[in-house]
Structure 1
Amino acid sequence: MSHTSIEALAEKANTLLELHKPGDPVVLPTVWDAWSAALAVDAGFTALTVGSHPVADSIGKPDNEGMSFDDLLTRVAQITDKVDVPVSVDIESGYGLPAEELIAGLLRVGAVGLNIEDTVHSEEKRLRSSGEHAALVGALRAAADSAGVHVVINARTDLFLRQDGDEADRVDRAIARMAEAAEAGADSLYPVGRHDPDTLRRLTSELPLPVNAIALPQEDDPASFGPLGVGRISFGPFLQAALAVRAQEILGRWS
């Protein structure tokens, strides 16, 4: 599958990185197979992200590392064979693999970005400490540097998703955690969850890197994120879910 040279991958990675502009966010539609990827590129999008949840659903396995890294790479290779745009990949919490193996696998199938989360699914879903998560981000950055590609690292925290600890200082703790990941070599920061405008504005103004917001593609106003300082938008499982609702309506006419 090593159909793309390191030079070409390096160029794609730099293109992806340059698209991240706080206040003028890049929209990376979350895709799960070659069909959805082609659909997004045909609609005019210039970069994509591959979501673990929709990929897992599409191959009949549970999210949260119910599929293997090889399952994911097989699907990513099909996507990068079909479309010629930068592709980022949600690698969940890393499948228990060393950073070098994760980076080598992604580059082998032509991916130039990744999401890495701080919930460790293989260890009873424990939350990594902020230092541990930053160390993993640093290891991924070092492995990418060694490979000669500035793989775009989107460091995710699940504090909001898990409703971890006291709500009163959750935003403070998320900011501290993501600032540590930024220091370790992340390129963008993903406080996954749906945030009210004030919280989102606080996150984007206090964090040193572009912030990734999640959008409901069929409901949210695309113009609402830029003024809040967002630098990147993705859809998580919500594009696939919206298509599923429409498909059920169509199929319901015949069942």
Structure 2
Amino acid sequence: MPLNHDLARQFADAHASGELLVLPTVWDVWSARLAVDAGFPGLTIGSHPVANAVGSEDGETMNFEHYLDVARAIVAAVDVPVSVDVESGYGLAPEELLEQVAETGAVGMNIEDTVHGEGGRIRSREEHAEYIAGVRRAADAKDLALVIDARTDAIKRGTADFEDPEAEAVERMKLMADAGARSLYPVGVTDHEQITRLVQVVDVPLNVTASPVANQPGDLETLRKLGVRRVTWGPKWQDEAVELLKDSLRHWVK
């Protein structure tokens, strides 16, 4: 598939607009079309819900080529920008990762610092920033305005790994922004005061995982007032759908 230069620029401009973007996290063509038909301006493909859908486990256990086939089908089925969660990169060099993902027509990537294929270690600040910079350089070489959503698990991993997880996340966020990330994703942030502090760290949008049903860590207006500029759903939309389906089945089982 040809590179989606126009959609990439549209997606990058949306991230630079200062407005709050809600990007539903989808796992197949069906869920993607539901979200687009509802009026959302872009989508994220989540490794966790895709793994659930194909009977695998999250954490880079899926066959990457098969995962990209899912991404390719979703991109072909919709007319909005699509970003792909590539976890830590599946062991690929930045240039090869960009080549394979861009070929699907996706115009964004979520890249995290936990390396599941290497025992779940977390990259150092500098290593992760350099990996992101490598992807940015590869995209720039193709004149592709790729949106890199750079994720850090420092807060999620907590004091087992870092004396001050939030301070560690802040330092990582600064380096990731300097490396070319167009949004930042400190996983594990749910406290409103913490969100308020983190949105002030850098100028690029802060991504927060929210539940489309439970309104946690806040509903749309609450998150907007806190300064959040990008919302994704992780596996939460799929989780809600699963509960509804389970409930419907209970009435038909003796």
Band the TM-score falls in, shorter-chain normalisation: over 0.9
Q: Which has the higher contact order (CA 8 A, sep 6+)?
A: 1
User: Which of 52, 59, 67 pairs up with 2:62?
Assistant: 67
Q: Does structure 1 conserve the Cα–Cα contact (< 8 Å) formed by 2:162 and 2:168?
A: no
What are the Cα deviations for residues 183-232 of structure 1, in whole angstroms up to 9, with x where unaligned?
11111100012421100000001223110011011011121111111110
- The residue type equivalent to 1:39 in the other structure is L
Structure 2 residue aligned with 1:196, among 188, 191, 212? 191
Contact 1:157–1:192, Cα closer than 8 Å, also in 2:
yes
Matched to 1:87, the amino acid is V
1:1-255 aligned at under 5 Å gives the runs: 2=1, 4=2, 6=3, 9-20=4-15, 24-165=19-160, 169-220=164-215, 221-255=219-253
Q: Which amino acid aligns with 1:198?
A: E
Q: Alpha-carbon deviations, 1:98-130, whole Å to 9, x = none?
A: 111111111111100000000011110000000
Identity %: 45
**Post-superposition CA distance 1:72-116 (Å, at most 9, x none):** 101001101111110000000100011111111111111000000
Asked if structure 2 preserves the Cα contact closer than 8 Å seen for 1:23 and 1:227, the reply is no
CA contact (8 A) 2:154 2:162 kept: no
Structure 1 consecutive aligned stretches of length 4 or more whose deviation exceeds 2 Å? 20-24, 164-169
CA contact (8 A) 1:22 1:210 kept: no
Tell me the CA shift for residue 154 of structure 1: 0.4
More deviation, 100-109/239-248: 100-109
Between the aligned partners of 2:144 and 2:136, the Cα distance in structure 1 is 10
SS of match in other structure, 2:211: coil
Q: What is the total number of aligned residue pairs between the two structures?
A: 250
Shift of 1:167: 7.2
1:182–1:188 CA contact under 8 A, matched in 2: yes
Q: Which amino acid aligns with 1:86?
A: P
Change (3 A) 1:157 1:249: same
Instruction: Give the superposed CA RMSD.
Output: 1.5
Greater alpha carbon shift after TM alignment, 87-96 vs 165-174: 165-174
In structure 1, list runs of 5 or more residues that go unmatched.
none
C-alpha separation between the residues in 2 aligned to 1:95 and 1:244? 28
Could you list the runs of 5+ residues in structure 2 that have no partner in the other structure? Answer: none
Residue 21 of structure 1, CA deviation: 5.5
